[in-house]
Amino acid sequence: MIAEIIAAGSEMLTPFRQDTNSLYLTAGLNDIGISVGFKTIVGDSLEHLTGAARNALLRADIVIFSGGLGPTEDDLTREAAAAALGLTLHRDNEIITNLHKRFAERRIPMPPNNAKQADILEGAVLLANANGSAPGQFLETTFEGKRRIVVLLPGPPRELKPLFDSLVKPKLAAAMPPSFLARRELRMALIPESTVDSRTSPIYKQYADVETTILATAGEIQLHFICAKPTLEEAKARVNAVAEAIEHEMQDDIFSSQGESLEEVVLLMLGMRHLTLAAAESCTGGLLSERLTAIAGSSRYFLGGAVVYSDALKTSFAGVPPEIIEREGPVSDAVARALAEGIRQRTGASIGVSITGIAGPGPGTGADVGKPIGLVYIGIADADGTQVKELRLPGDRERIRWWAAQHALEQLRRQML
C-alpha cells in the first residue's frame, strides 16, 4: 500500500515555511508498514487542490491531507476532496450545535463562516479533534474502480499529531496485513560517511529484509535499521543481528547503540565512573556547556565552567598565566593545556575540558597573527595528566564552532572508555 501526503497551505510555497507534518506522518505510516510514495505541497486554490487530489487518488492507495480544514475562505480541503472524488458534502447538525456551544461559552456570536467546519464528505467517519474546532475525516471509498482511503487532518501539529495517533493509525493498521516493526540505531562521531559505508555495507547488505539508512549530520553518522516481520520477536532479532555484526566491525567507533546522543553518552559515562566535568570555552563561547546542559539531569555531572572569550578572563577564571597567552597566543597548545588544568582546579571537577581556536571569519590577531581560521586546540585534564589535541577544521564560523564542541565531546568519551 502506497500513501500520498498532500499539505495544503500557500505559506508552504514561500521561502519561509516548510511542511513538517509529513515527517511525523511518514514515521507513523512506516510503523504500520505503509510507505509514502509521494508528497505534494499545494496552495489555497480550489482548482490546484482539486487537481492535486485527483492525481493522488490515481496513484496512491491512501491519500492524507493536512491543513485547510479551518473556517476561512482559504480553507478548501473539504471542497477539493469532494470535487476530486465526485462526492457531495453534507452539513452535520451535531457539529454545528457543538460549534455554537463553543462560541456561546466564550460569549462571542459565531461568524457564519465557521459552519463550513461541519461539512462532511458523504460516507466519511468523523475524527473528533480534542485540540481544535475542525474535526478530521476518514473515508473508505473507491476511485475509478480502485479501493482508496482518504483522510483529512487539521494542519496545526498539536491537533494533527494526537488525532493521527489515536484515530487514524489504528484504522489504517486494521486495513493492513498484521506486521510488527523493530528499529535500531547506531551512531558514530567524526568518521567520514564513505569510511562508514565501505566498512559496513558488506555487512548490512547481507540483511536484505532489514532496511538500512545511513544519515550524515554535522560530525555524526547514524545507521538506522528497520525490519518488519509477522511477530515483534522476529523483527527485533533481525535488527539486533545486523546491529551486533556492525558493532563487531566498528567497535569503539560506535558511541551509541540505542540512539542516545553524544552528549547523553558522555554524561552517562561520567555518572558510571562517579566523575564530574567543568569546561573553559573560548572560541565555542558556551556551545559545549549549552549542549551538555540541554540534557535533563546534567547538573549531577556537569558543574559548569567559564566562557573565557577575552584574554583577561582566561587568567581570572582559569588561572592561565598572562605571559603564556602573550608568548604563545590565546590559540595555542599551551593555553589549551593551562585552561583545562585551570578550570579543573578552580571548580574542583574530576575532569577539565578546554576549547580555544580561531572560528573566523577573520584569521588570528595579536599574538595569534599568522594562525589560520579553523585552528582549534582541545585540552582535557584529569588526575592522570593533560592531553591537548590540535585540529584544523574546515568551513565557516558556525561549522568550526560545532565541530570543535563535537571533537571535545568525542575526546571526552574516548578518554573514559
Where along the sequence are the contacts to its own copies (CB under 8 A)? Answer: 11-18, 20, 23-24, 26-27, 30, 35-43, 45, 48, 51-52, 55, 59, 213, 215, 224, 278-279, 281, 284-290, 292-294, 296, 298-299, 302-310, 312-313, 316-317, 346-348, 360-362, 397-398, 401
Contacts of 125 (CB under 8 A, 6+ apart): 137, 138, 139
Q: How many CB atoms within 10 Å of residue 174?
A: 9
Query: Residue 417 CB, nearest distance to its own copies (Å)?
Result: 25
By C-beta, is 224 or 389 nearer to its own copies?
A: 224
Strand partners, 138: 125, 151
Q: Map residue 138 onto helix, strand or coil.
A: strand
Give the Cα separation of 264 and 279 in Å (integer): 16
Query: Residue 41 CB, nearest distance to its own copies (Å)?
Result: 4
- Cα distances from 118 to residues 88, 107, 115, 154, in angstroms, run 13, 20, 6, 13
Q: Compute the Cα dihedral for 228, 211, 7, 164 and give only its sign.
A: positive
CB 405 within 8 A of CB 355: yes
Query: Residue 227 CB, nearest distance to its own copies (Å)?
Result: 15
Alpha-helix residue ranges (DSSP H) falling in 106-224: 157-163, 169-174, 193-204
By C-beta, is 96 or 275 nearer to its own copies?
A: 275
Q: Map residue 20 onto helix, strand or coil.
A: coil
Select from 284, 276, 275, 390 the least CA-distant residue to 335. Answer: 390
Give the Cα separation of 85 and 388 in Å (integer): 67
Question: In which element (H, E) is residue 78 found?
Answer: helix 77-85
By C-beta, is 121 or 368 nearer to its own copies?
A: 368
By C-beta, is 3 or 95 nearer to its own copies?
A: 3
Strand partners, 289: none
Query: Residue 163 CB, nearest distance to its own copies (Å)?
Result: 18
By C-beta, is 252 or 396 nearer to its own copies?
A: 396
By C-beta, is 305 or 374 nearer to its own copies?
A: 305
Give the Cα separation of 11 and 188 in Å (integer): 37
Query: Residue 336 CB, nearest distance to its own copies (Å)?
Result: 16
By C-beta, is 129 or 356 nearer to its own copies?
A: 356
Query: Residue 26 CB, nearest distance to its own copies (Å)?
Result: 5
* 306-335 per-residue burial string, b: 16 or more CB within 10 A, e: under 16: bbbeebeebbebbebeeebbeebbbbbebb
Question: Cα(first)–Cα(last) distance of the chain, in Å?
Answer: 46
Query: Residue 51 CB, nearest distance to its own copies (Å)?
Result: 6
By C-beta, is 117 or 289 nearer to its own copies?
A: 289
Give the Cα separation of 301 and 162 in Å (integer): 36
By C-beta, is 82 or 404 nearer to its own copies?
A: 404
By C-beta, is 263 or 382 nearer to its own copies?
A: 263
Q: How many CB atoms within 10 Å of residue 271?
A: 14
Query: Residue 312 CB, nearest distance to its own copies (Å)?
Result: 7
Query: Residue 15 CB, nearest distance to its own copies (Å)?
Result: 4
Query: Residue 190 CB, nearest distance to its own copies (Å)?
Result: 20
